[in-house]
Amino acid sequence: MSAPHVGAAPVRDHRRWHRGQGPLLQSHMLVHALRVVTPAQAADTLYLYNWNNYISDATIARFEARCRCRVVQDYYSDNEEMLAKLAAGASGYDLIVPTGNAVEALIRSKQLRPIDRARLPNLKNIKPEFLDTRFDPGNRYSVPYAYTVTLIGYNEQKLRALGLPTDSWALIFEPKYLKKIKGRVTVLDSQRELMAAAMRYLGHSINDTDEARWRRARDLILRAKPYWAAFNASSYIKELTIGNIWVAHGYSNDMFQARQDALRAGRPFSIGYSIPKEGAVLALDSMVLHRTGRHPDLAHRFIDFMLEGANSAELTNLIGSGNPNRDALRYIRREIADNPAVFPDAEHLKRLEMMRDLDRRSRRVLNRIWTEIKLR
Amino acid sequence: MSGKPDPRHTRPRGARLTKWVVTAPPTLFLLAFFLAPALIVLVASFQYPGEFGGLAPITNPGDGREHGLTLENYAFFFSDFLFAEIFVKSFTVAALSTLACLVLAYPVAWLIARSPRHHRDLLVLLVILPFASNFLIRVYAWMIILGPQQAVAQAVNGVLALFGLAPVNLLFSPFAVLVGMVYVHLPFMILPLYTNLEKHDPVLLDAAQDLGANAWRRFWRVTWPLSLPGVFSGSALVFIPVLGMFAVPDILGGTRDMLIGNLIKDQFLGVRDWPFGAALSILLTLAVLVLAGLAAWAARPRGAT
């Protein structure tokens, strides 16, 4: 009894805001749901259902030129929205790019077409640590695309001046550090993400569902909460960029954007980000073939195309996403490639975990704990 | 062809037809878009959560999945005081917002109603002008206005410093939530009050003055009682939407500003617990109905006064 994509929504909550989607615009999902793609339109058209802003226009143009076909994209801003649209009967998508736990949901509800690995010579480019995941053992259905890490972004000058550590969750959980940055800290407004950070800090797995441990994590959070400004999934990029907030718990892509924005705005400070040494959440997005897609050949060609280093690197250069492709590294801009928060070393990588879904009973236990956290 | 129509019959039938044609669309609209969804929510509140989100089936699907109806969702609500506490808090915030709206809106509505007739339309237009821009953008604007580096916060903290008090954060606080709620809902209080106050006959006030009533007495004994219907409808238009609002606490609230709207939203968009979200919605609706009933009972006409 579990709903494999339950953890997915919080992971992607930020995208709803930062990829051109207002939080109250859920109704466009319905509009999409009613617009069923008719595959008969063209035999040489690839229907790609992707995150907002999750592929470079140049990449699309190059693929279209090579395959002499057209790529039609539809967009979603969180996994749940995508799953709901498919559940409402949308069909005809050849390719989708869901996060791990949503991949698991799609596999378990038998919506995916197996991958033909013989047609993906470039699959060898994927680093082995991103293959054979728990959500798709043996990669029968999914091919890694890109990833984000949930970490800490911070104002480099302020934190250096205050002499605070930036490599540990202690920064957002320990009152002895927090009292120097009271009211200047935001944490993600997400049950799973915040609990994951607290659980890692306490030395547990993010997927541990032991209630006593959750309660200790709750106590840790409640002790730190008076020092936080807000639970924030929507505006921490801006708050970091203008200097209102000095420390934010958030996603690596967002921190990349905050850093770029602060640079471009010529701020007297810069935004840094790093993965806490205790470990963190890694959200891996993978390409999957939907069962209703009419162009599996073209879809395989697209996957193999995206597995080429140069094409894969383009996305990382655009949004600062993590890249599981070995061959991509040489095309990635130096300042991104050298950033250990985007490309963690083996030591850090070992402590990154992918989120698994909770069964409904655990969800309620966590829900109650979360409500308590929010209220107290 | 049955000859000329009998006017005695056609007219009532025509009137009936007109009445039917006029009332059917709104009735159907309410049935389809209010009653039916409300019933769906009611049923959902007794169902189990579905495996991939949504709802578990009511009838046995035959594959061992959880199904049927349950009281579990309500039991979860009443299992401790936590969720009820959020209800109490939300009603308090809604009451405070309504009160603040009333205090701010009354003078504005009164001024508009007393201004020269040819100005009134323009003034009413100005009141509703903010609706021309998106609600979220206006709330985000408050985020900038209340930010720690802006004039408002600087001024407040400057004054606090004069008295030797520590600076405060305006943004991400219960205060910011209240400001947002009042700002968003103020027009909904001004408009019913204005339409009510505009209809008052100024002769009544003259009569009261002739009988020796001072300005306060004229207001308290004449204008205020006459304006009560406007006060009630304005209050309802503010109180109920504030109860369900989740965007304002999300954007402007701090670490303790979860309201019932946020809790319900989380059930659907965050944690995929539709049945519990449905149960919360039903309980909220019941609470509002009880409150409305109490208000009607308190405001019932008493005796022959």
pLDDT digit string, tens, across residues B93-108: 999 999 999 999 999 9
Q: Measuring CA to CA, how many Å separate A164 from each of A168, A176, A245, A340? A: 10, 10, 15, 19
Of A229, A248, A225, A228, the C-alpha closest to A238 is A248
Side-chain half-sphere of A222: how many Cα atoms within 13 Å? Answer: 14
Q: How close B67 comes to chain A (CA, Å)?
A: 11
CA B236 and chain centroid, separation: 6
Mutate to test the interface with A, among B55, B134, B245, B272 (most CBs of A within 10 A): B272
Side-chain half-sphere of A89: how many Cα atoms within 13 Å? Answer: 7
pLDDT digits (tens, 9 = 90+) for B129-159: 998 999 999 999 999 899 888 888 889 989 9
Residue with tokens 């009998």: B6
What is d(CA B44, CA B66) in angstroms, rounded to the nearest whole number? 14
Q: How close B220 comes to chain A (CA, Å)?
A: 40
Residues A367, B169: C-beta atoms closer than 8 Å: no
pLDDT digits (tens, 9 = 90+) for A108-135: 888 999 999 999 999 999 999 999 999 9
For the CA atoms of A122, A127, A128, A129, the dihedral, rounded to the nearest 10 degrees, stands at -150
Q: How close B255 comes to chain A (CA, Å)?
A: 5
Residues B149, A244: C-beta atoms closer than 8 Å: yes
Residues B54, A87: C-beta atoms closer than 8 Å: yes
Nearest to A244 among B148, B255, B270 (CB): B148
Residue A275 CB neighbours (<10 A): 23
Residues B272, A363: C-beta atoms closer than 8 Å: yes
Of A26, A37, A21, A120, the C-alpha closest to A290 is A37
What are the extents of the domains in chain B? 81-298
Residues of B in contact with A375 (CB under 8 A): 82, 85-86, 89, 256, 258
What mean pLDDT comes out for the span A11-33? 39
Grouping H, G, I as helix, E, B as strand and the rest as coil, residue B238 is helix
User: The whole model's pTM is what?
Assistant: 0.81
Q: Are A316 and A322 in contact (CB under 8 A)?
A: yes
Q: How close B274 comes to chain A (CA, Å)?
A: 11
Phi and psi at A112, nearest 5°, equal: -110, 155
B37 lies within 8 A of chain A by CB:
no
Q: How close B32 comes to chain A (CA, Å)?
A: 18
What is d(CA B127, CA B123) in angstroms, rounded to the nearest whole number? 6
Q: Which of A260-274, A332-346, B174-188, B267-281 has the lowest mean pLDDT?
A: B267-281
Q: Assess whether pLDDT exceeds 70 at residue A23.
A: no
B172 lies within 8 A of chain A by CB:
yes
Q: Measuring CA to CA, how many Å separate B276 from each of A83, A260, B288? A: 20, 41, 18
Question: What was the ipTM of the complex prediction?
Answer: 0.80
Q: Are B267 and B280 in contact (CB under 8 A)?
A: yes
Q: Assess whether pLDDT exceeds 50 at residue A32.
A: no
- pLDDT at position A36 is 45
Q: Measuring CA to CA, how many Å separate A371 from each of A52, A365, B81? A: 30, 10, 11
What is d(CA A31, CA A28) in angstroms, rounded to the nearest whole number? 5
Domains of chain A by start residue, with CATH: 22-146+284-343 (3.40.190.10), 148-281+356-375 (3.40.190.10)
Pairing type for strands A112-113 and A280-290 reads antiparallel
Mean pLDDT of all residues belonging to chain A: 87
- pLDDT at position A7 is 33
Containing H/E element for B154? helix B151-162
What is d(CA B257, CA B285) in angstroms, rounded to the nearest whole number? 21
Which residue would you say has higher pLDDT here, A6 or A245? A245
A42: confidence class by pLDDT, cuts 50, 70, 90: very low
Q: What are the residues facing A185 on neighbouring strands?
A: A247
B54: confidence class by pLDDT, cuts 50, 70, 90: confident
Residues of B in contact with A244 (CB under 8 A): 147-149, 171
Q: Measuring CA to CA, how many Å separate A66 from each of A50, A253, A325, B13, B155? A: 20, 29, 21, 71, 61
What is d(CA A339, CA B270) in angstroms, rounded to the nearest whole number? 31
B216 lies within 8 A of chain A by CB:
no
Residues A191, B271: C-beta atoms closer than 8 Å: yes
Residues A191, B83: C-beta atoms closer than 8 Å: no
Which residue would you say has higher pLDDT here, A110 or B302? A110
Q: Are A272 and A285 in contact (CB under 8 A)?
A: no
Assigned token pair, B51: 């495996």
Nearest to A9 among B48, B135, B270 (CB): B270
Q: List the single residue in B with minimal CA-CA distance to A9.
A: B270
Phi and psi at B184, nearest 5°, equal: -65, -35
Q: How far apart are the first and last CA of chain B?
A: 61
B219 lies within 8 A of chain A by CB:
no
Residues A80, B53: C-beta atoms closer than 8 Å: yes
Q: Which amino acid is at A360?
A: R
**CATH pick for B81-298 out of 3.50.50.60, 1.10.3720.10, 1.20.120.80, 3.20.20.70:** 1.10.3720.10
- pLDDT at position B127 is 93
Residue B153 CB neighbours (<10 A): 18
